[in-house]
Amino acid sequence: MNHASEAASATERPPVRRVVIAGGGTAGWMAAAALSRTLGKVLDITLIESEEIGTVGVGEATIPTLVTFHRLLDINEQEVMAATNATMKLGIAFDGWRDVGEDYIHSFGTTGKDHWTAGFQHFWLKGRERGLARDYGEYCLELRAAQENRFAHLPNGGINYAFHLDSGLYARFLRRFSEGYGVRRVEGRIGEVALAANGDIAAVVMADGSRIEGDLFIDCTGFRALLIGQTLGVGFEDWSQWLFNDTAIAVQTESLRPAVPYVRCSARDAGWQWRIPLQHRVGNGIVFSSRHTDEASARATLLGSIEGAQRTEPRVIRFRPGQRVKAWERNCVSLGLASGFLEPLESTSIHLIQRGITRLLQSFPHVINQVDIDEYNAQVQSEIVHIRDFVILHYAVSNRRDTPYWRDCAAMELPPSLRHRIDLFAETGRVFRIPNELFAENSWVQVMLGQGLTPRQRHPAPDLMGDDELNHFLEGIRRHVESTVSRLPTHMDYIRSYCPMKDAAAAAAV
C-alpha cells in the first residue's frame, strides 16, 4: 500500500481508545504499567496472557535506565526491590574476553574527568606514557565499588546503578501495579487474530471463541510474534553473520555467598556464561553457537562450573539474533522478543522493552497514521543498530584465537558502522557518541581498553600539563574514588537494610 492510500485508510480508523496487549511477562506488564499510569484515564487497556504459556524469564540483569523508568511511573524503588528479591548492579565483569585468564569490568560510571577538548582516556594515556597512571578502572567510582563489593546511594545521584531482579516476580509486581490503574487481565490462549477490511487487526479471538476488539494492539507474544509476524507478515532481519550465538541454557542455583553488585560474564570455548546474584538465589546460564558446539557439551560446561545446589532443571532457549524489519505495522506495535533479540551480554533486553514503551507514549496517536509509524520505526532501527554494534564489539576486538569459535569471531567482516568506531579509536583514542544512542563514550572506551585495544595516538591537550600537574590531576581523582569507596557499606549489608526480602520462605519456593 502506498502512502496516499495508507493515509486514506488511516482516516477510517477510530481514535485510539482500546489498547489490547497480547502476552504478559516482563514486556507485557511493563507496557501495561506505563500505559495505565500515564494514559489509563483515557484508555481501556486489556492484557491477555495464559498461565499455560511460559515466558523466557531470564532477563534478570538490567541497566540504569530502569531506575528512570521506575521514577517516571512513581514506583517506589525499595518496594519493587523487596518484591523481586533484587540486588544492585554496578557493571559487568568480563572474564576471559580479552584473552584466556584476563579480565576487566565495564561499569556504569564515568571514568576520571573529561576536558571539553579531549576525553579522560587521553590524559590517562599520557600518564601511562610517563609512568604516572594506574589501571584505568581505578579512576571510576562504580568500578572500584564493584571490585570491593560495596554500595550505597549517594547524594545528587553520585553513583550510577541498576538491578539484578527476579523477572517472574517483577512481572507479578507490575501486574498488581497495573491492575491498580485499571488494567483488565484476561486469562487464556489466543486462538486466532481477526483482520479488518483495511488490513488492520480488528480483534484477537480466544480459544474459547470470545472476541477482544481493540484500536491498538501490542504484541508481547515472545519469539512467536503472533500478531506482528504471523498475522501481519512483518519479516525478520537476521544478524547471525555477526552474532553467532543462537542457544542458551539457564539454571538457578542456591546462593553460597553474599551477592556481589555486578554480573559475571565468562567467555567459554564457543560462547559465554553468565552469573547473576539475587538475594535468594543465583541465575546462571550459558549462551553458545550451535555451529561451534553441541547442546550436551554446552550443558556440561555450564553444570561443571556452577556453584550451589540446583533449584531448577536446566532450560534450553533457542533464538535467532536480529530485529523485526518494522517494530510497528498498521495498528500493531511489537515489544520484547516479538520485536527482536540480542543476546543479553550487556543486559539490554529490558531496556529495549522500556525504550519501545517510552517511544510509543511520546508519539501516542489520537488516530493511528503512517507518519507516526515511520518515525517510530526509524528511531527503533537506529537504536538497535547501535546496541548491536556494541555487542559485536566484544567479539571483534578480542585477542582470543584458541578455538574455532574465537577465530571465526576475529575473521568476520564487521558492519561498516562498527568498523569505523574501532578504527577511529585504534588510531586516535577518540569516541564520538551518536545522539540518543544508549551507550555513552565511556562505555565504548572501557570495553575497547578492557579488551586490549590500545590507541596508536592520543589528543595533544595533555601535553600542556607537566608531570607534576598531570600526576596531581590523576592522583586527585583516584584518591577521591578510593575515599568514597572506603566509606561505603558492603553491598549485602546495604541491601538487608534497604530492601530485604519480604518473605524468605516464599522466595525459596519461587
| Positions marked active-site | 89
Residue 77 dihedral angles phi and psi, to the nearest 5° = -65, -45
Distances (CA, A) of 111 to 41, 140, 160, 443: 44, 4, 12, 9
For 465, which DSSP code? S
What percentage of the chain's residues is helix, strand, coil (to nearest 5)?
40, 20, 40
344: Cβ–Cβ under 8 A, 6 or more apart, which residues?
58, 59, 61, 274, 287
Could you tell me if 338 and 23 are in contact, meaning their C-beta atoms sit under 8 angstroms apart?
Answer: yes
> Are 192 and 48 in contact, with CB atoms under 8 Å apart?
no
| Strand arrangement of the beta sheet that strand 211-213 belongs to | 190-195, 201-206, 211-213
In 3D space, the residue among 271, 296, 272 whose CA is nearest the CA of residue 408 turns out to be 271
Q: Strand 44-49: give its sheet, edge to edge.
A: 184-187, 44-49, 18-22, 216-219, 332-334, 328-329
Provide the grid cell at 180: 491498580
C-beta neighbour count of 264 within 10 angstroms: 18
Q: Give the DSSP per-residue string, 172-210.
A: HHHHHHHHHTTPEEEES-EEEEEEPTTSSEEEEEETTS-
d(CA 494, CA 209): 52
Closest CA to 26 of 58, 64, 71: 58
Separation between Cα atoms, residue 69 and residue 403, nearest integer Å: 41
Structure-block grid coordinates of residue 153: 546511594
Distance CA(317)–CA(167), nearest Å, equals 16
Among 220, 169, 216, smallest CA distance to 196 is for 216
Report the SS3 class of residue 426: helix
CA geometry: angle 504, 506, 146, nearest 5 deg: 45
3-class secondary-structure state, position 144: helix
**H or E element that contains 152:** none
Instruction: Compute how many other C-beta atoms are within 10 angstroms of the C-beta atom of residue 195.
Output: 14
Q: Is 271 exposed, middle or buried (0-12, 13-18, 19+ CB in 10 A)?
A: buried
Residue closest to 163 by CA, chosen among 254, 250, 73, 70: 70
